[in-house]
Structure 1
């Protein structure tokens, strides 16, 4: 969206989707709009016409332009069960690995792995940043890189986060080959094989796969569409013997919730009270639907019990393997061990990302991406609701990110659905791998990071018809 009228239309669309402009509200006239933004009357008209084409405003002859809220159909949110919490091993590592490998097959329709469409990646800006970074690089940039990460990138991240109210020292940042490698280093440093880590479920299957591969046990606590059970979290911190929690509080995958600032502050206090470390995976925070990025738990951590982790793989590109973890003074004595476990990251990629941030191109990309994701996720939701209209479907309503969690009738087994989808060259992720005891076996997770193309629409139709056939035949899968 390089044109002025498109940028202005995006700003108005944000206000409509966030409820700052309400249905039926009259917009200022084209002439007043052009004066307010110091643009031509033609540019103002192009802005309003774009919003009208998007179905966000309408015109009354001789009266003016008015806000029109999209008429979306709603369904019930998924139901989430209560269950007992106990230390246990992740039992389905082989299946986790199989599903992860399937997500990398580009011949499949991408409804499984949570990743952005290549069309949403700012390729030209990335190319320019990498070229500039190479042009201004120094001879030492072509030697073995600093295992903590290049100073230019750490300084860029400090500056970038500070704009959103998050203040972390460059000396506390360690650059990694993505978010999961960051989590791996932290988990191996803070815990030993056989020890337990508290996780809310349903939980990102990649984290569970990582914990299984590292031979760590999990203590599950219930998660639901508004967050997870903080009373249970406190209980398990106190009695389970777990030394750490692995949690996402900003647009958790797969449910898409975002905890309140009060809840995040409470978690930081609990971590101190029970001396239980919080490994915070904040990979989706920059994929918010509003203009303000939510703060992580780390913001309220005054005692060094929160290890902040993330990457740009969800906000920029899954192929751009640059992530980080951030420690505190409390963990400085573990720095040598962390450095030893960390793998050096490609220096040109680090410098390219630093340039992308310093040039403001990354910030501009995020501003465009957020509105696009909000619109795209709702398009998926509405299409899924329409396609599954005669099926007892429950569907989450993410507050950010782009993962969709579908709960189907109990007779539907997600693993059977997964194998059927694979035969149709469709990639989905079955709910069975988001926790233990087959708690989520009638659920699936879908990716809404790609445009809702005709191909993807047809894939959703195929999945709905399979469910419909199973129910009509009365099969107990």
Structure 2
């Protein structure tokens, strides 16, 4: 469990990085801060000492504490997004989707494609201790075939964990799965049939589109941008398209990184009930928030039982721990037998190990340490990319959480050609072409900022920039002639 001074330091860090606290701004004195926060003087001192150690504040003798000026950052333009009318579409590029997915997990390539955390950010020692304790204290029945719904201890742990974050899902509503994508697959197949249309904001995570294509579902795209997606278009699609299912991410959507407001989430839950259109909510990035508080899911406002909550620890803990979940509301209880048959049992020791990690508070401590690191790391990537692409009108999203970066280049830059060039150089990226239809995002790419900005990754980004600059220079010469 994170100590109170660490949580307070994280809150101040967020205010510094977002500009709410400006360089050289004077902070409250230790005694004032302690009184404001209702904490002891020692706790206040520990908070300020941690901020000072992290280079975020400094002390002037007989004057107090001040915000340390951070390395100058350049204002970065965010991507522009096309407007379009929603219509039923087949998902194209399935073979290309599969090819790029396979490349994304190739350990020989530089990981700028698949969105995953650096192994250095994984609490491997805490995980090891939790699994060892779980094995030591497990019961004889834990060595038999496991409950297809998931071990009750993990379901109870997840329920308690979410309750601390302000939303409540009963253990009997939780089904443990082998990651988030299998959870989405089970629910999509349970609530729709082949040939049905699913409402999806785009640009949208290409893995979800690949899954829908493999399941032979069609899509109805609605426009999304770095601020969110159009709720009026969403309502129109629910009302007139005949679709009875949406696939949405409200918290730090991949690839754009937006987080919808509570009012927008509440509106979505109301629309789902009004039009009896189920919402499958993929909340896999919620715990990668850059602020101390985890944002609430759409599910929090679901009163009629039309929101199915899905997630995983793949992005907040480790992609190798294939533990995810889907949670059905009481009105879908009649699907229980079907869901049990479709769901694949998850390794029991891993379930018990994750439950121990949660109950021991080690998972909470990991998250409290991870969030400020991710925020700083993502900003380092953004600033370095702008420097690397100097002279190119590159636009980059400014995510509020997670670590997916969406880059938009001038229109005549071919993101797919850049992907193939990068692959030849041993670099993995994902071209924007795969995040929607009609080649709307062909001048975009998505990059992973989950690894430290090492010299190797810096060199890889410089190689991408060199290719883009060379292509633009050649295009100018051709046009001039």
TM-score scaled by structure 2? 0.93
2:475 is paired with a residue whose SS is coil
How far, CA to CA, are the matches of 2:377 and 2:421 in structure 1? 26
Q: Is contact 1:16-1:69 (8 Å) kept? A: no
Q: Quick one: structure 1 residues 234 and 28, their matched pair in 2 at CA, closer, same or farther if it must change by over 3 Å? A: closer
Larger displacement relative to structure 2 (187-196 or 386-395): 386-395
Larger displacement relative to structure 2 (332-341 or 60-69): 60-69
Q: State the shift of 1:47 in Å.
A: 3.3
Q: Quick one: structure 1 residues 5 and 222, their matched pair in 2 at CA, closer, same or farther if it must change by over 3 Å? A: closer
**Per-residue displacement from partner, 1:295-352 (whole Å, max 9, x unpaired)?**
0110000000000000000000011100000001111111111111100000000000
What is the aligned partner in structure 2 of residue 229 from structure 1? 230
Q: Is contact 2:30-2:44 (8 Å) kept? A: no
Larger displacement relative to structure 2 (311-320 or 332-341): 332-341
How far, CA to CA, are the matches of 2:259 and 2:415 in structure 1? 26
Paired residues in the alignment total: 472
What is the aligned partner in structure 2 of residue 403 from structure 1? 404
What is the aligned partner in structure 2 of residue 66 from structure 1? 66
How far, CA to CA, are the matches of 1:233 and 1:31 in structure 2? 50
What is the aligned partner in structure 2 of residue 14 from structure 1? 14
Q: Quick one: structure 1 residues 11 and 81, their matched pair in 2 at CA, closer, same or farther if it must change by over 3 Å? A: closer
What is the aligned partner in structure 1 of residue 302 from structure 2? 301
Q: Is contact 1:156-1:357 (8 Å) kept? A: yes
**Per-residue displacement from partner, 1:150-179 (whole Å, max 9, x unpaired)?**
000000001000001110011100000000
Q: Is contact 2:2-2:364 (8 Å) kept? A: no
What is the aligned partner in structure 1 of residue 50 from structure 2? 47
2:407 is paired with a residue whose SS is strand
How far, CA to CA, are the matches of 1:39 and 1:360 in structure 2? 20
1:207-226 to 2 correspondences below 5 Å: 207-226=208-227
Q: Is contact 1:8-1:47 (8 Å) kept? A: no
1:385 is paired with a residue whose SS is helix
**Per-residue displacement from partner, 1:357-396 (whole Å, max 9, x unpaired)?**
0000000100011111111111111111111121011111
Q: State the shift of 1:50 in Å.
A: 1.5
2:446 is paired with a residue whose SS is strand
What is the aligned partner in structure 1 of residue 356 from structure 2? 355
2:54 is paired with a residue whose SS is helix
Q: Is contact 2:196-2:217 (8 Å) kept? A: yes
Q: Is contact 1:255-1:404 (8 Å) kept? A: yes
What is the aligned partner in structure 2 of residue 321 from structure 1? 322
What is the aligned partner in structure 2 of residue 38 from structure 1? 42
Q: State the shift of 1:107 in Å.
A: 1.1
RMSD: 2.3
Q: Quick one: structure 1 residues 169 and 36, their matched pair in 2 at CA, closer, same or farther if it must change by over 3 Å? A: closer
Q: Quick one: structure 1 residues 298 and 4, their matched pair in 2 at CA, closer, same or farther if it must change by over 3 Å? A: closer
Q: Quick one: structure 1 residues 239 and 44, their matched pair in 2 at CA, closer, same or farther if it must change by over 3 Å? A: closer
Q: Is contact 1:405-1:445 (8 Å) kept? A: yes
TM-score scaled by structure 1? 0.94
Q: Which runs of 5+ in 1 are unaligned?
A: none
Q: State the shift of 1:25 in Å.
A: 2.2
Q: Is contact 1:6-1:50 (8 Å) kept? A: no
2:147 is paired with a residue whose SS is coil
Q: Quick one: structure 1 residues 400 and 69, their matched pair in 2 at CA, closer, same or farther if it must change by over 3 Å? A: farther
Q: Is contact 1:13-1:51 (8 Å) kept? A: no
2:405 is paired with a residue whose SS is strand
How far, CA to CA, are the matches of 1:377 and 1:46 in structure 2? 24
How far, CA to CA, are the matches of 2:241 and 2:473 in structure 1? 45
1:459 is paired with a residue whose SS is helix
How far, CA to CA, are the matches of 1:416 and 1:165 in structure 2? 45
How far, CA to CA, are the matches of 1:18 and 1:268 in structure 2? 30
